[in-house]
A and B are shown apart, each in its own frame.
Chain A
């Protein structure tokens, strides 16, 4: 991480390329990657038809994707400070957006948001509005100035812009607070997922997840993280969209979920009202206790 030595991680843009050529190379690499992923899913589907067990498929999926991200992480290793902290500031906007999107769609959203919204209703929307609305604030107040500033961290920038250590200190507190809370939720999610998907005990799952994260990010810093996240985004967006679009087509024939969402919600609400009055439901009502925290550890 010393000084400005040329980066040793080939494969993801040497320092000598122009931005246009770099972007073209990226497009090619990720197009091949997407094709490879689709092929992988098809092969697994065929294997499943031939009788491969559910656990094996779980292991293969988990192992293959973790190995893939680890591979990208190792390929992006670097010694250059600018590459390590800010990916050399050469990431094209679309790819940066993909990386940010992958961050958004991680365990905290998939598990945490879904659960929070289900349990708390309108209040849970505060998280959704906060994450994307907060991104708005970053774009208006911090991002352009941080890039022009040239250093690497927000507390640095705040200290220089507002002259002094107190703004810097506030920045540090905010960064640590946000990161810590988020990381705890993420690690918990990682443990849960590994437990369910691979059947390992919760504690082992956490360490496996952490090991995976370390391999992806330790050697290459922000550069490795960005390219790994872009790869994850492609898989995530496909994984998120397919079930929702499938449901939408099955229920209403319209492939755009956002459009029919509202009317389906009305139907669900009406059905819920019916079910609550159903005599079978009233039979078991005295025996059901809504204990939200309990199911998290089951």
Chain B
């Protein structure tokens, strides 16, 4: 199928936001995990890296998903390809 200019714009915006969110995901998951011993300072009673693994990263994951859904909804509306609510 022929890709118009707006198709390409939409897709590149999508790729960009995905890359950003994926980078955040990577830092919270693997970077913190890799430096876990160095990062075990006291954080409200928790060792920090343990808290990130148990609670913090989960909060960030949910935020990532929520933000992605919100951003893509707006993008869909902007480029006129939103899912229509049949009524």
Chain A positions near chain B (C-beta within 8 angstroms): 18-20, 122, 125-126, 128-129, 132-133, 135-137, 139-141, 144, 258, 261-266
Chain B, residue nearest A144 (CB): B72
Q: How far is the CB of B23 from chain A (nearest CB, A)?
A: 11
Chain A to chain B: the 7 pairs with minimum beta-carbon distance, closest first: A262-B45, A125-B53, A263-B45, A262-B44, A262-B46, A266-B45, A136-B61
- Contact of A122 with B72 in the complex, beta carbons under 8 Å: no
Minimum CB–CB distance from B63 to chain A (whole Å) comes to 10
Name the residue in B25, B54, B85 with the highest tally of chain A Cβ atoms < 10 Å from its Cβ: B54
Q: Are A133 and B44 closer than 8 Å at their CB atoms?
A: no
- Bound together, the chains give a CA A295 to CA B44 distance in angstroms of 34
The answer to whether A129 touches B50, judged by C-beta atoms less than 8 angstroms apart, is no
| Most chain B CB inside 10 Å of its own CB: which residue of A128, A133, A263, A264 | A133
Q: Are A20 and B87 in contact (CB under 8 A)?
A: yes
CB distance from B75 to the nearest CB of A (A): 11
- Please name all residues of chain B whose beta carbon is closer than 8 Å to the beta carbon of A266 when the two chains form the complex: 45
Considering the chains assembled together, what is the distance between the CA atoms of A18 and B85 in angstroms? 8
Among A128, A132, A262, contact of B43 (Cβ-Cβ < 8 Å): A262
Closest Cβ–Cβ distance, residue B50 to chain A (whole Å): 6
Contact (A19, B43) CB under 8 Å given A136-B65, A139-B65, A139-B69:
no
Apart from A19-B87, A133-B25, what 14 extra A-B contacts exist at CB < 8 Å?
A125-B54, A129-B33, A132-B58, A133-B29, A135-B65, A136-B64, A137-B25, A139-B68, A140-B18, A144-B72, A261-B46, A262-B44, A262-B51, A264-B45
Q: How many A-B residue pairs have CB under 8 A?
A: 68
By a CB distance below 8 angstroms, the chain A residues around B61 are: 132-133, 135-136
Which of A128, A141, A258, A262 neighbours the largest number of chain B CB atoms within 10 Å of its CB? A262
Chain B interface: which size bin?
A: 20 to 34
Contact of A258 among B50, B55, B69 (CB under 8 A): B55
Cβ of A132: which chain B residues have Cβ within 8 Å of it? 57-58, 61-62
Could you show 18 A-B contacts with beta carbons less than 8 Å apart?
A: A18-B85, A122-B36, A122-B53, A128-B53, A129-B33, A129-B53, A132-B57, A132-B58, A133-B25, A136-B21, A139-B64, A140-B21, A140-B64, A144-B72, A261-B46, A262-B45, A264-B45, A265-B45
A19/B85 contact (C-beta < 8 A), A133-B25, A133-B29 known: yes
Q: Distance (Å) between the CB of B14 and the closest chain A CB?
A: 9
Q: A20-B87, A262-B46, A265-B45 are in contact. Are A140 and B22 (CB under 8 A)?
A: yes
B80 at the interface (CB under 8 A from A): no
Specify which chain A residues have a CB less than 8 angstroms from the CB of B57 in the assembled complex: 129, 132-133
A87 to B: closest C-beta gap in Å = 16
